[in-house]
Structure 1
């Protein structure tokens, strides 16, 4: 299917994906991280405290690779490890408050502008936008899963 055959909303969404990737790279650069480490930091910021194993699963990486990522970020003060009180053998990893603030300071202008724009829309339009973005996320997750399955074969 050529670009001329695509719906304008589909083309706009593809452009948005590209801009999101570029924004992610730039935030990683500003924070002094490589893209892989930033993606791990971002995943942690969204999920909250998790084990290295769970983070590895979320990233689609091996536990050994994820341990190295966590060690690099810990050395830079972006994450901290702590043992669970109920099971001292289990180590959790979480984003430091300073790193969380750093990410938010870089993302806040975009998030605020987006939020204000959506809130200015009529309620029915807000619902359509939210529904569309929800469906787009599901479609993207399904596509990613399909790509991952093909890669595993």
Structure 2
């Protein structure tokens, strides 16, 4: 199948994925992080507190690698370890307020512009866009799962 045989929206979405990757690289650079550490930080910011083992699983990394990432990020003040309030034997890791603020400061202009544009659309269009993006996320998650199962790390 050639690129011209795909729907323009599918091609635009592919372009958005490329720009998202470039943005991720640039945000990591602005924070002074390598891409792996930034991805761990972003994953944790999305998920909330998790164990190092769960973070490793989410990253597709070994527990030793995740532990090293957390140690580096903790030294930078971007992650913190704390005991689980329900099970004191369990240590969880979370993103610090400092890291959240720094990431948000870098992403706020894009988030604000996106939000303003969406709010300028008629309500019916807003719903269609939200529904499409929800479906696109599910398709991407399913594809990622398929790729991960095909090529286990």
Q: What is the match of residue 90 of structure 1?
A: 90
Deviation, structure 1 residue 61: 1.4
Question: CA-to-partner distance for each residue in 1:84-143, whole Å, 9 max, x for gaps?
Answer: 244332111011111110000001110010011011100110010001000000000111
Deviation, structure 1 residue 55: 1.0
- Aligned positions, number: 153
For structure 2, which runs of at least 5 residues remain unmatched after alignment? none
Q: What is the match of residue 73 of structure 2?
A: 73
Aligned Cα root-mean-square deviation (Å)? 1.2
Deviation, structure 1 residue 152: 2.6
Runs of 4+ residues over 3 Å off in structure 1: none
Say which SS state the counterpart of residue 152 (structure 1) adopts: coil
Deviation, structure 1 residue 60: 1.6
TM-score by length of 2: 0.96
Q: What is the match of residue 112 of structure 1?
A: 112
Say which SS state the counterpart of residue 36 (structure 2) adopts: helix
Q: What is the match of residue 99 of structure 1?
A: 99
Deviation, structure 1 residue 54: 1.3
Question: CA-to-partner distance for each residue in 1:31-77, whole Å, 9 max, x for gaps?
Answer: 01110100110111111111111111211211111001101111111
Do residues 54 (structure 1) and 54 (structure 2) align? yes
Q: What is the match of residue 44 of structure 1?
A: 44
Q: Distance in 2 between matches of 1:123 and 1:87?
A: 45
Indicate the larger mover: 55-64 or 37-46: 55-64
For structure 1, which runs of at least 5 residues remain unmatched after alignment? none
Deviation, structure 1 residue 4: 1.2
Q: Distance in 2 between matches of 1:124 and 1:67?
A: 46
